[in-house]
Chains A and B, each alone.
Chain A
Amino acid sequence: MRGRCNYRKTRIGVSIPLFLLFFVLFLGEKDFTRILSQTLLLSQFVPSLLRFFSDPGHILSLGLVVILLITFIGGRIYCSFLCPLGMLQDLISWISGKVRVKKRYGYRKSYQRIHLTILFCTFMMAALGYLTLLNLLDPYGLFGRISAHLFKFVLVVANNMAVSVLEIFDIFNLSIKRQHHVSTSILLLTAGSFGCLLVFSLRAGRLYCNSICPVGAVLGLVSRFSLYKIRIDKSSCTSCNLCEKMCKAGCIKSNEGDVDNTRCLACFDCLAICRSSSIGYKFRLFECYAGASPSLQRRKFLGSMATFFYTLTADPLALASTQESDLSNRGPITPPGSFGLQHFTSRCSGCHLCVSSCPTHALVPTLWKYGLSGLLQPEMDYRRGHCEISCTTCSSVCPTGAILPVTRNEKKLIQIGVVALNKELCVVHVKKKHCGACGEACPTNAIFPVEKGRVLFPDINNSYCIGCGGCEQACPTFPKSIKVTANSVHLKAEVYVPPELPVLDMDVKSDFPF
């Protein structure tokens, strides 16, 4: 019996450090996030899935295969060992168990019909180019948003309080942090989903995972055929009901000795609690759970999967049409490395890791600026920060391939947009006084002064402009006189070649001119 408890101990031993790492990841501290995103995110289903379709050769897409394989062998181990949202729900249940009387669950009827319908809709929409439901329900993205917008905020406040105290003693090792900008609608959406999750996990354990989560639904379909399964040995079972009460998935019918493997999360709590050692995690080939058999849904699902495969490899038409309407006015600016609107919107799952780790807070989440198909995808917003020319953070942390890695030198020439000056607002044009705020901020010499009647006017050469928004951010007028407009397909800027330096007759040995 003790030996079998090791399964549960292993789960706890793996998931606690992993959860902490996921938490640190979404704090967006540049160095940690960069390292963690390249290792930790290998284990996430939806990012790997999106990667798999866009770039099958990438190491991150390997994760998908590994996860499906693990599920086929051992059931939904992913849900208990690797999913940060699952761990968060376990944590909530654990804390509530410590605070209140130990929570007891019980067998719940399967919501498989609803669950598979949600999965079907999610994948059908994704196949048509609408990532709406996927972005909304993906457990990794959901955890990311909760972590970045809610948990990080608490830490930022705590940090700033600590800074205020340490400053009194002239200790400036910590510095004031600012929370990245999140619009009220997204904050409400995130808080709302966290609230739902809280209620779900307090009242019914892992109900989210077994009735809504699309990843849970896919893995449930696989785990039905898994090689290792939890089984109750009816001969030794004393029908004490402990396992049923312990099961946060509500998938054990102890009086009948039945375990619904499509819903079992492989948490191994039942193994640890069973006094008569009647529950085993054993190799069972070709032994499927014979509960509700959703043959119709399965057929539908397989059909949708086929469509999904097809449409993601061939560029979805639906997406192209939504882009054209966006192009008519100033469309959202996508970050360098995303190649443009189409590449970005068809791959971003809205986890907001880039938003949390953007050092200048130029990346801001949007609700539906990309249309409903691109729900929660972020854009470059230069009102608060600009895109620092030598920074490649977002491209190095993105797990889905929406923003692909670029080197510093490549990034310096990626033109994500160009600038336009509104002379009716510009200080120099209106007041005929020097300003130079935009020119001072421009890192590529796209903005340069032109003298007219002893006044230096800003002028623009957009072939050097990379659309970093340094000028827009610096411009002192309100509304801004200089603004970046998006390139729907990113272009390459020209390298600025300075004119020949006039010959300097600056003799260092010569005397001072005074």
Chain B
Amino acid sequence: MATKQHNRRDFIKKSLRVGFGAASSLVLAKTPLLFAQETVPGVPDLVAVKNNEPDVLFDKAMSLMGGMSRFVKKGQTVVVKPNIGFAKAPEMGATTNPLLVKSVVEHCISAGAKKVYVFDNVAASSYGVAHTCYKKSGIEDAAKDRGAIVAPGDHEKYYQKVDVPGAKNLVSTAVHELILEADVFINVPVLKNHRYTQFTCAMKNLMGVVWDRMEYHYTDLEQSIAEFCLFKKPDLNIVDAYRVMLRHGPQGNGPEDLVLMKTLLVAPDILAIDTAAAKIFGLEPESIRYLQIGHDLGLGTTKLADLNIKKFTYT
């Protein structure tokens, strides 16, 4: 009886929110922020799927999400930002699964994207490392295979200085021109342990779109990670939790650090997806400093209970 009541209350809450959302989107048409934040009937805020191969999971997640055409319109340019941070094979779980990147590119192209770019500014800034990372992670080949343009991120000339509105720490930073120019920004992080920020996922992955990540480290790492989202948030976040590195992150010591979770999360809200990822990872979202800062900056929601979450588990 109690549960029924709870469900009903939830239903009313949701209906009210949907109604408000619909009304406000009529009033404030063309406000992309509302589109991303508010719930549209039948379309979930967050999709979580598990127990299959990365590409199968992504197909399922996108069909639950309402298709890639919700995010990518015909003729638009898309930039896909996976984690290609280290020169490690896909089996080491230090980089985004190439099969997932391949699938994301495929979805973008079939949604009518004019161009799909893939790039990352890798973790080590020594000359020549980026090339090795692109190759060894398998992402360059996977993305090119589906028609993406794999762009370089290893030279300062590709970055432009921007101001971050409302930031007290990361007041300005140099951002990759593709992030500034592309119509759609898709963030495809890998979920893994990071010994200095507890875990790395969607928000932390955005450190790879700026030129000088060391200014994050030098000033205040977690504050900067959160504040970058004041400048730009991805239109869609896709979390690869297929092979999850549980310790020795972000590089990992070997396959014994990994656990096969075979999970995928998709959400437009970067804070919500990081909260969900933290929970999957076995962490309390309240204990992660940059999620709390993100919450205080109003980047999204950390209250998963308020969201329309669709889950699917293959058996």
B90 to chain A, nearest CB (A): 16
Residues of A within 8 A of B247 (CB): 498, 501
Would you give the shortest CB distance from B64 to chain A, in whole angstroms?
A: 13
CB of B309 to closest CB in A, whole Å: 7
Interface size class of A (residues with CB under 8 A): 35 or more
Chain A positions 436 through 475: 1 when the CB is less than 8 Å from some CB of chain B, otherwise 0: 1101111101001100000010000000000000100110
Q: Which residues of A contact B261 (CB under 8 A)?
A: 506, 508
- Tell me whether A513 and B195 are in contact in the complex, defined as CB-CB below 8 angstroms, given that A172-B152, A386-B126, A508-B50 are known contacts: no
Query: Are the C-beta atoms of A476 and B217 separated by less than 8 Å?
Result: yes
Given contacts A385-B127, A498-B256, contact A433 B220 (CB under 8 A): yes
- Interface residue count for B (Cβ, 8 Å)? 56
Residues in B with CB closer than 8 Å to A256 are: none
Whether the Cβ atoms of B87 and A388 lie closer than 8 Å is yes
Is the pair A434, B221 in contact by a Cβ cutoff of 8 Å? yes
A435 within 8 A of B: yes
Hey, which chain A residues are within 8 Å of B132, CB to CB? Answer: 359, 388
Q: State whether A360 and B196 are in contact (beta carbons under 8 Å apart), knowing that A498-B256, A511-B313 are contacts in the complex.
A: no
A178 and B126 CA atoms in complex are apart in Å by 11
- Cβ B126 vs Cβ A360 within 8 A: yes
Assembled-state Cα–Cα distance A427/B223 (Å): 14
The answer to whether B217 touches A172 (Cβ under 8 A) is no
Query: From residue A95, how far is it (CB to closest CB) to chain B in Å?
Result: 33
Residue A38 is within 8 A (CB to CB) of chain B in the complex? no
Q: Is the CB of B151 within 8 A of A440?
A: no
Q: Is B222 an interface residue when CB atoms closer than 8 A count as contact?
A: yes
Q: Does A6 contact B (CB under 8 A)?
A: no
- Chain B residues, Cβ within 8 Å of A286: none
Known: A436-B221, A514-B279. A456 touches B196 (CB 8 A): yes
A407 lies within 8 A of chain B by Cβ: no
Distance in Å: Cβ of B221 to nearest Cβ of chain A:
5
Q: Which residue of B lies closest to A514 (CB)?
A: B304
CB-based contact A172/B222 at 8 Å: no
A503 CB, nearest partner CB in chain B, Å: 11
Over the window 142-163 of chain B, the binary record of Cβ atoms lying under 8 Å from chain A Cβ atoms (1 yes, 0 no) is 0000000111101101000000
A residues near B126, Cβ cutoff 8 Å: 360-362, 384-386, 388, 473
Tell whether, in the assembled complex, residue B253 and residue A508 are in contact, meaning their CB atoms are under 8 Å apart. Answer: no
User: In the bound complex, do residue A513 and residue B127 qualify as a contact, i.e. CB atoms below 8 Å apart?
Assistant: no
**A508 contacts B215, C-beta separation under 8 Å:** no
Q: Does A477 contact B (CB under 8 A)?
A: yes
B123 interface residue (CB < 8 Å to A): yes
Check B259–A504 contact: CB distance below 8 A: yes
Q: Given that A435-B218, A456-B196 are known contacts, is A440 also in contact with B251, CB under 8 Å in the complex? A: yes
Give the secondary structure class of B's interface.
Answer: mixed
- Taking the closest CB of chain B, its distance from the CB of A462, in whole angstroms, is 18
Contacts of A437 in B (CB 8 A): 214, 217
- B107-161 residues at the A interface, CB under 8 angstroms: 115, 123-129, 131-132, 149-152, 154-155, 157
Contact of B214 among A386, A439, A448, A474 (CB under 8 A): A474
Q: How far, in whole Å, are A385 and B221 apart by their CA atoms in the complex?
A: 23
Question: A506 CA to B194 CA in the complex, in Å?
Answer: 19
Which one of A175, A449, A456, A514 lies within 8 Å of B152 (CB-CB)? A175
Report B-chain residues with C-beta under 8 Å of the C-beta of A176.
152, 154-155, 157
A434 in contact with B248 given A498-B253, A512-B48 (CB within 8 Å)? no
Q: Kindly list chain B residues whose C-beta atoms are within 8 Å of the C-beta of A443.
A: 251
Q: Which residues of B contact A449 (CB under 8 A)?
A: 195-196
Would you call B51 an interface residue if the criterion is a C-beta within 8 Å of the partner chain's C-beta atoms? yes
Given A434-B222, A456-B195, A474-B214: A445 in contact with B259 (beta carbons within 8 A): no
A309 at the interface (CB under 8 A from B): no
B73 at the interface (CB under 8 A from A): no
Residues of A within 8 A of B74 (CB): none
- B193 vs chain A, min Cβ distance (A): 11
CB within 8 Å for A473 and B280 given contacts A172-B152, A440-B196: no
Residues A361 and B128 in contact, CB atoms below 8 Å apart: yes
A477 touches B218 (CB 8 A): yes
**B289 → chain A closest CB, angstroms:** 8
Q: Which residue of B lies closest to A496 (CB)?
A: B253
Inter-subunit contact B246/A360 (CB<8 Å):
no
Chain A 480-514 interface residues, beta-carbon cutoff 8 Å to B: 496, 498, 501, 504, 506, 508-509, 511-514
Q: Contacts A170-B115, A172-B150; is A476 near B248 (CB within 8 Å)?
A: no
Query: How distant is B99 from chain A, measured CB to nearest CB, in Å?
Result: 18
Contact B214 A476, beta carbon cutoff 8 Å: yes
User: Which partner residue on chain A sits nearest B307 by CB separation?
Assistant: A514
- Do residues B127 and A361 form an inter-chain contact, with CB atoms below 8 A? yes
Q: Of residues 268 to 282 in B, which have CB atoms within 8 Å of A's CB atoms?
A: 276, 279-280, 282
Q: Which B residues touch A362, using CB under 8 A?
A: 126
CB distance from B13 to the nearest CB of A (A): 17
Question: Are A390 and B155 in touch, CB under 8 angstroms?
Answer: no
For A362, the closest partner residue in chain B by CB is B126
A434: chain B residues at CB < 8 Å are 196-197, 221-222, 289
Tell me, yes or no, whether B257 is within 8 Å of chain A by CB. yes
Contact A435 B125 (CB under 8 A): no
Q: Which of A427, A439, A501, A512 contacts B195 (CB 8 A)?
A: A439
- Please report the C-alpha to C-alpha distance between residue A476 and residue B246 in the assembled complex, in whole angstroms: 26
Complex interface: chain A residues within 8 A of B51 (CB): 508-509
Give chain B interface residues in 9-28, CB to chain A under 8 Å: none
Contact A498 B257 (CB under 8 A): yes
Q: Say how far B205's CB is from chain A's closest CB, in angstroms.
A: 14
Give the CA-CA distance A390 to B125 in the complex, in Å. 16
Q: Which residues of B contact A431 (CB under 8 A)?
A: 220
Chain A minimum-CB-distance residue to B212: A476
On chain B, the residues within 8 Å of A384 by CB distance are 126-127
Q: For the complex, what is the distance from the CA of A230 to the CA of B280, rounded to whole Å?
A: 84
Given contacts A427-B217, A449-B196, A506 and B253 within 8 Å (CB-CB): no
B128 lies within 8 A of A436 (CB): no
Q: Could you jot down 18 A-B contacts, CB within 8 Å?
A: A170-B115, A172-B149, A172-B150, A360-B127, A361-B126, A361-B128, A434-B221, A434-B289, A435-B217, A436-B195, A445-B253, A448-B195, A449-B195, A470-B124, A506-B259, A511-B311, A512-B279, A514-B309
8 residue pairs, one from A and one from B, having the closest CB atoms: A436-B196, A385-B126, A476-B218, A476-B214, A360-B126, A359-B128, A437-B217, A513-B279
Q: Which chain A residues have a beta carbon within 8 Å of chain B's beta carbons?
A: 170, 172, 175-176, 178, 359-362, 384-386, 388, 390, 427, 431, 433-437, 439-443, 445, 448-449, 456, 470, 473-474, 476-477, 496, 498, 501, 504, 506, 508-509, 511-514
20 further A-B pairs in the complex, CB-CB below 8 A; given A437-B217, A512-B311: A172-B151, A176-B154, A388-B87, A427-B218, A436-B195, A436-B221, A439-B195, A456-B196, A473-B124, A474-B214, A476-B214, A476-B215, A476-B218, A501-B247, A506-B282, A512-B48, A512-B50, A512-B276, A512-B279, A514-B309
